[in-house]
Each structure stands twice: as structure tokens, then as C-alpha cells.
């Protein structure tokens, strides 16, 4: 019951805060912000609380595998965007995510190799995104947008943590990386503002995913040795440090896109 209360409070608060902050600085910064593990982080935390630190470490590995799949989603969506509307693009991105996730789980790479592959996949995805010239555009989201994101995120966390015993730690971690909020940003931007805005959100998401990688690398390295609390504390510090560094390094790029 205690963990259920945390799920019902922590998840919507995180997503609501991220959405409101992201709206202030546009599509690219919004995508960069949701690159943080706002869904998979809480999922891994609740899995570790309910099933132990070893289960949490397995979820961390699954989440790292899912990062390559998430990069595949961004490329799949982006390459469909100049040619089709958002439903086709979302389907294309989702298929790319599924293929990427299946490949990564089949490979079952050692952690050090997995980290190198994930970082390489993110860098390659950034290079593969179509180039464009577009200026940021401001739009007022519908009233249902924020509540829908909060409800959807909470439902996903509840569903994954409830099915975790059946799915196992790595599949739970991988599925939690589906870019729910990144895809919401991209679809809304695509539908309301067109292809350049959708690519803005996806490029920002990819830049933000480096902090996602740092979070789960740190979590995998510490949770079994030091416990759930210290492990997640270390992971949060690592993610925020990398997120800050990525903002400083890519500040000009984010401003342009």
C-alpha cells in the first residue's frame, strides 16, 4: 500500500513538473527535459522496493538496452516525418523501437560493451536525424494535455510494476524506456506545428538521453553494493550532472532548434 501511494504521487508530480518547465523553453528543450528517466526511473525504483536490489539492477540493464531502442524510435519517426502524418510516423517509430529492443535483448551484451553501444547509438541517431531549417513556434496546448500525460504516465508505471513478476527485471526495464513523453511531445508538435517542430522535439530528446544512460549506469554499479536508497541517490546525481553538462554543451543547438 505504501508503494502504491508513492506511485500515485511521485509519477504524476514528476511528469507534471517536467511538462510545465519544458513548455517555457520550447519543443527542443521540452524533448531534452523528458530525456530524463521520468518513467523508467520511478519504475525501477518501485521494482527495487518491491522485489529487491538485484531485481532493480536487472531493470537497470533492461533500461540501458531500451536506450538503443529509444534511439531507434527517434530515427524511425524522424525519417517518416517528411513523408507522412503523425499516425504513420508514430507507428514507424514504435516498430523501430520494438526491433531495436528485441535485437538488444538477443545480443545480451556485457555491461561495459552495452554502455559503449548505447552511447554510440545515441550519437549515431543524432547524426541520422534529417537536417532542416525551422524556427521555434509557440503554441498553447489543449487543457487536457497535462492531465492526460500525468494519467498516462501513472498508468504505465502501475501496469509495468504490476506485471514485473511475470515480465522479469530486464523486460520490465526495457519496456519502461518506450519514449512515452517524447512521443507525446513529437506527435503534438507534428500535428500542431509540422515536421520541423517534431524533429526539434526528437533532437532534444536524444540530447537528453545521455543523462538517462548515466542514471542507469550509476544505478547498476551501486544498487546491489550499497542498497536502494544510496543507489538511486547516486543515479540521480549522475543524471543531473550529465544533464547539466549536455545543456551547457548543446545550449546553442537547443536554442536554434
The ranges assigned to domains in the chain are 28-130+144-256
The per-residue pLDDT for range 72-81, each reduced to its tens digit, is: 999 999 999 8
Could you tell me the pTM of the whole model?
0.78
Q: Coil, helix or strand for 36? A: coil
Give the integer Cα–Cα distance in Å for 147 and 16: 8
Q: Which three cell numbers stand for residue 248?
A: 551547457
The per-residue pLDDT for range 117-168, each reduced to its tens digit, is: 999 999 999 999 887 645 545 556 667 777 877 787 778 767 766 776 677 7
SS3 letters across 130-192: CCCCCCCCCCCCCCCHHHHHHHHHHHHHHHHHHHHHHHCHHHHHHHCCCCHHHHHHHHHHHHH
**DSSP label of 84:** S
The per-residue pLDDT for range 158-217, each reduced to its tens digit, is: 776 677 667 777 777 777 778 777 777 788 778 877 888 888 888 888 888 899 899 999
Q: Coil, helix or strand for 252? A: helix
Amino acid at each position: 500500500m505504501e508503494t502504491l501511494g508513492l506511485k500515485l504521487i511521485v509519477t504524476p508530480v514528476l511528469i507534471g513538473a517536467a511538462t510545465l518547465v519544458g513548455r517555457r523553453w520550447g519543443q527542443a528543450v521540452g524533448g531534452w527535459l523528458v530525456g530524463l528517466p521520468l518513467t523508467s526511473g520511478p519504475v525501477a525504483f518501485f521494482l527495487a522496493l518491491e522485489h529487491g536490489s538485484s531485481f532493480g539492477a536487472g531493470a537497470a540493464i533492461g533500461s540501458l538496452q531500451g536506450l538503443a531502442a529509444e534511439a531507434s524510435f527517434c530515427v524511425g519517426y524522424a525519417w517518416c516525418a517528411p513523408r507522412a502524418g503523425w499516425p504513420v510516423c508514430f507507428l514507424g517509430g514504435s516498430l523501430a523501437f520494438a526491433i531495436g529492443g528485441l535485437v538488444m535483448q538477443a545480443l545480451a551484451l556485457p555491461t561495459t560493451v552495452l554502455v559503449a553501444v548505447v552511447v554510440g547509438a545515441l550519437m549515431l541517431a543524432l547524426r541520422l536525424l534529417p537536417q532542416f531549417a525551422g524556427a521555434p513556434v509557440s503554441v498553447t496546448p489543449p487543457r487536457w494535455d497535462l492531465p492526460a500525460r500525468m494519467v498516462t504516465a501513472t498508468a504505465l508505471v502501475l501496469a509495468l510494476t504490476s506485471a514485473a513478476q511475470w515480465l522479469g527485471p530486464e523486460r520490465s526495464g526495457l519496456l519502461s524506456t518506450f519514449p512515452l513523453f517524447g512521443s507525446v511531445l513529437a506527435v503534438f508538435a507534428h500535428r500542431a506545428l509540422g515536421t520541423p517542430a517534431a524533429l526539434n522535439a526528437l533532437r532534444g530528446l536524444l540530447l537528453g538521453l545521455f543523462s538517462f544512460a548515466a542514471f542507469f549506469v550509476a544505478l547498476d554499479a551501486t544498487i546491489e553494493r550499497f542498497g536502494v536508497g544510496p543507489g538511486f541517490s547516486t543515479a540521480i546525481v549522475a543524471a543531473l550532472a550529465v544533464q547539466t553538462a549536455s545543456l551547457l554543451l548543446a545550449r546553442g543547438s537547443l536554442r536554434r532548434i
